[in-house]
């Protein structure tokens, strides 16, 4: 189950995980932490296992009913155990968005999203010459919503 990490932004435990998502750049970490603290639409949730925060995901709720995944990270020693997948599935269940959207420059991350049923599109290269990907998952409507 996801827990709200917004009140814990800036703590060592949250900073450690968020640093993995912003490539351990102290300036980017501070900017990202400030966004989560200051912007109401930005949410930060975590996954605990046996009292240990093993992963987090940050997202922005948009007016069109989608969730833009901004960050996702799992402690290195807990990767490959399904935590990232669990966080994504829990977001779909708990938030019931129309779409989940993520952008990444990491081909491994693009493959991860693809494995969850996201459609992955190339956005071309960024200014640094690195290929960017847009990953989109359309959430199927349940019979209750129809």
Q: Rounded CA gap, 137 and 120, in Å?
A: 9
Q: Rounded CA gap, 28 and 120, in Å?
A: 26
Whether the predicted pLDDT of 81 surpasses 70 = yes
Percent of the chain exceeding pLDDT 90 equals 78
Q: Given this model, what pLDDT does residue 75 score?
A: 96
pLDDT tier at 24, thresholds 50, 70, 90? low
Q: Given this model, what pLDDT does residue 140 score?
A: 80
Q: What is the pTM of this model?
A: 0.88
At 86-141, the pLDDT tens digits run 999 999 999 999 999 999 998 999 999 999 999 999 999 988 888 999 999 998 87
Q: Rounded CA gap, 121 and 114, in Å?
A: 10
């Amino acid at each position: 189950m996801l827990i709200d990490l917004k009140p814990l932004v800036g703590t060592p435990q949250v900073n450690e995980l968020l640093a993995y998502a912003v490539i351990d750049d102290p300036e980017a970490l501070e900017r990202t932490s400030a966004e989560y603290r200051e912007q109401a639409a930005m949410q930060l949730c975590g996954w605990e296992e046996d009292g240990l925060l093993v992963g987090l995901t940050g997202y922005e709720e948009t007016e069109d009913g989608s969730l833009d995944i901004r960050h996702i990270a799992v402690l290195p020693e807990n990767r490959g155990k399904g935590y990232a997948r669990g966080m994504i599935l829990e977001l779909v269940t708990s938030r019931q968005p129309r779409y989940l959207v993520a952008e990444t420059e990491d081909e491994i991350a693009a493959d991860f999203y693809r494995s969850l049923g996201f459609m992955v599109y190339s956005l071309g290269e960024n200014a640094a010459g690195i290929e960017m990907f847009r990953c989109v998952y359309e959430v199927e409507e349940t019979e209750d919503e129809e």
